[in-house]
Structure 1
Amino acid sequence: MQAVKNGDTVRVHYHGRLTNGTTFDSSEGREPLEFKVGAGMVIKGFDNGVMDMKVGDKKTVNIPVEEAYGPKDAKLLMEFPKDRIPTDLNPQLGMDLQMSNPEGQIFQVKVAAIGPDSITLDANHPLAGEALVFDIELVEIK
Structure 2
Amino acid sequence: MTEVKPGDTVRINYAGRLTDGTSFDTSEGREPLQFTLGEGQVIPGLEAHVAGMAPGEKSTVTIPSDQAYGPHRAEAIQTLERTKVPAGLDIEVGTQLQAKTADGTMMPIRVVELDEATVKVDANHPLAGKDLIFDVELVEIVKAA
TM bucket normalised to smaller: 0.7 to 0.9
Alpha-carbon deviation of 1:115?
A: 5.0
Residue equivalent to 2:57: 57
Deviations 1:79-118 (A, max 9, x none): 2101233443453333322333466543321112335632
Structure-1 residue corresponding to 2:138? 138
Task: Report the equivalent of 2:79.
Answer: 79
Deviation at 1:49, TM superposition (A): 1.0
Q: Using the alignment, how far apart are the partners of 1:64 and 1:5 within structure 2?
A: 22
The more displaced of 60-69 and 98-107 is 98-107
CA distance in 2, matches of 1:20, 1:60: 15
The whole-number CA distance in structure 1 between the counterparts of 2:52 and 2:104 is 42
Q: Distance in 2 between matches of 1:63 and 1:129?
A: 11
Structure 1 position 34, deviation (Å): 1.1
Q: Percent identity?
A: 47
> Which residue is 2:40 aligned to?
40
**In structure 2, C-alpha distance between the alignment counterparts of 1:71 and 1:79, rounded to whole Å:** 20
Q: Counterpart in 2 of 1:113?
A: 113
The 1-side partners of 2:15 and 2:138 are apart by: 12
2:121 and 2:51 map into 1 onto residues whose CA distance is: 37
Count of matched residue pairs: 142
SS at match of 1:80: strand
Give 1:8's aligned residue. Answer: 8
* Stretches of structure 2 lacking an aligned partner (at least 5 in a row): none
Q: TM-score, normalised by structure 2?
A: 0.86
Query: Which deviates more, 76-85 or 86-95?
Result: 86-95
Instruction: Note the C-alpha offset of 1:62.
Output: 0.4
> Quick one: distance in 1 between partners of 2:39 and 2:107?
23
Distance 1:18 1:95 in 2: 23
| Structure 1: distance between partners of 2:111 and 2:138 | 38
Report how far residue 20 of structure 1 moved: 1.4
Tell me how far apart the structure 1 counterparts of residues 125 and 55 of structure 2 sit (CA, whole Å): 31
Which deviates the most, 11-20 or 96-105? Answer: 96-105
